[in-house]
Amino acid sequence: MGNQVVIAVGTFILLLTGLLLGYVLSQLVLGFLTFNLLTFFGTLSLILIFGTLYYVLFWQLQRDQSRPSTRNEGIPNQVDDGVSDSYLKNRLIAKLSGDTAAAERLIEQAKETYPGMPENWYCERVLDDLERDRQ
């Protein structure tokens, strides 16, 4: 939720700064605003604010997309693990046409590559990898 607030506020400020920058530049070009030191530094500061917000906003979006997806963040997994693990394993086995050994092998490879993650994360990771490879 916090990242969504940052993205929403950043987008609003970026939009507002872009509109203000466009207005100032159009007034300079049309000759209604005289070019002096004050308008130069004002325009430069608007460009810097716009560029910085643009960079930070899309950096935040990229960072959110590159994070591994965990659906139960902050929720204890003791009750949920048994159901979700078996469900995900069954989906994985079904995707592999019933090859249980291949499913276990892929999960073990994921555990070696990404140690320390919850069991259901490995199943989700293998399912996502299979889906991506089939496209």
The CA distance from 22 to 37, in Å, is 18
* Other CB atoms within 10 Å distance of the CB of residue 39: 14
pLDDT tens, residue order, the chain (135 aa)? 567 787 788 888 888 888 888 888 889 888 888 888 888 888 888 888 888 888 888 877 777 666 655 544 444 444 444 556 778 888 888 888 888 898 899 999 999 998 888 888 888 899 888 888 887
Contact 81, 118 (CB under 8 A): yes
pTM: 0.42
Check residue 32 and report its DSSP letter: S
Q: How far is CA 1 from CA 13, 57, 111, 121, 131, in A?
A: 19, 15, 29, 21, 28
